[in-house]
Structure 1
Amino acid sequence: MPNREFLLRLSALYDEFQQHDAKQCDRIQRFRNIEPDSAQFLSMLIRTQQSQSILEIGTSTGYSALWLAEAAQATGAQIITLEIEEKRSLQAQSYAAELNLESSIEFWTGDAAEYLKQATQTFDFILLDAERSYYPTYWDDLKRLIRKNGGVLIVDNVISHAAEVKEFLNMIKQDMDFMTTTIAFGAGLFMVVAK
């Protein structure tokens, strides 16, 4: 279970990020972090699954990565988190260092599509929370990288931005190698489990 210091710091960070986002007119300038109840649910899933390898696509300022890393320390896992903007990745790294979580996280800066194409490692747990318009182009690589027989992919914002992810979710639902369900936490999580 996350300790009190971690929970207090993450709560304060979430409030800071929310205040920042409220001042931004341009969506791209917002940090757009996952909601606290969704983040805690992911932490619980990692613990339940006893994940050893975790991939996050869309670090932003690191709010979700911190939750993933805290759970990863409990299971002995390693995380790779991908972010296209170097400034945000560096910001996330500073929070990880502050909370002594940096040893569990590898920060990768660049285009997620490039990383996914060249990746060979399979992952127990993948969180997809990036630019939704690119998701359909990720699917062929993602399904190759999800560990067979119980690997999990979580897609965020599937209720709040249902129209934007509809095509992608339909692609996944049509693939008989995966089971899926939608979970009504935060902005909506789509859970994909490899058979």
Structure 2
Amino acid sequence: MLTAAHRKRLYQLWQEGEAHDARHAARADKRLNITPDTGMFLYQLARARRAMSLLEIGTSNGYSAVWLGLAAQANKGRLQSVDNSAHKTALASAMIDSFGLQQTVSLHTGDAFERLAACDDESVDMLFLDADRSRYAGYWPEIARILAPRGVLVMDNAVSHADECADFRAAVLATHGYLAETYAIGKGQFVILKDL
């Protein structure tokens, strides 16, 4: 369950992340955390969907994984999160441990496409996409394959980086059986429902 203490701490961590990013110019050194309202949105969706199997592409320092992990824990489910940076996976591991989510969240360092390819058909209830946007369109066939019926995908930065996400959005909107809409939460959330 998401407690008031969790929310207060998550807000403080977001503030610290923003201050950290302001001090670092290189993208690889930034935390690039989602906004707290995006975290709340993800938590609410995961709880409402009763998502048991969650997948995150783009762990960074684990901030979004905490929001998703708390929902997975409340649902008695599991979150897998993958990032291509071993340094960021280590940061995320410390973050996950500090929230007591070690039994709920599995962190992986590696290629996102390989993680997607390893998932069984229709095995993922909810997927959060927040990584290298240039690769999203290539992920779509695998994402469509692994999303469970009534599965939900949320893509961050749909407004802040709309041009970079255009090919992915076009691929999704051209696929039968999926409903998609962009919501003005945080940096813009493109939400896809597998309506089958």
CA deviation string 1:47-85 (max 9, x = no partner): 111111000000000110000111111111100001111
- Alignment partners' CA distance in 2, 1:147 and 1:181: 19
Residue 158 of structure 2: aligned partner: 158
Secondary structure of 2:31's aligned partner: coil
Answer yes or no: is 1:87 the counterpart of 2:93.
no
Residue 186 of structure 2: aligned partner: 186
Residue 74 of structure 1: aligned partner: 74
Task: Tell me: CA distance 1:166–1:46, structure 2 relative to 1, closer, same or farther (3 Å).
Answer: same
Secondary structure of 2:168's aligned partner: helix
Secondary structure of 1:31's aligned partner: coil
Q: Which AA in structure 2 matches 1:166?
A: A
Residue 124 of structure 2: aligned partner: 123
Q: Which AA in structure 2 matches 1:134?
A: R
Secondary structure of 1:147's aligned partner: strand
- Alignment partners' CA distance in 2, 1:123 and 1:117: 12
Unaligned runs of 5+ in 1: none
- Alignment partners' CA distance in 2, 1:188 and 1:28: 22
Instruction: Give, in angstroms, the shift of residue 28 of structure 1.
Output: 3.1
- Alignment partners' CA distance in 2, 1:47 and 1:120: 22
RMSD, aligned α-carbons: 1.1
Identity across the alignment (%): 35
Secondary structure of 1:65's aligned partner: helix
- Alignment partners' CA distance in 1, 2:32 and 2:102: 22
CA deviation string 1:79-129 (max 9, x = no partner): 000111111111111111111111110111101112112322610000000
Residue 54 of structure 1: aligned partner: 54
- After TM superposition, the score normalised by the length of structure 1 is 0.96
CA deviation string 1:1-46 (max 9, x = no partner): 5113212221221111111111122223211111110110110011
Runs of 4+ in structure 1 deviating by more than 3 angstroms, as ranges, are: none
Deviates more, 1:22-31 or 1:76-85: 22-31
- Alignment partners' CA distance in 1, 2:43 and 2:75: 11
Unaligned runs of 5+ in 2: none
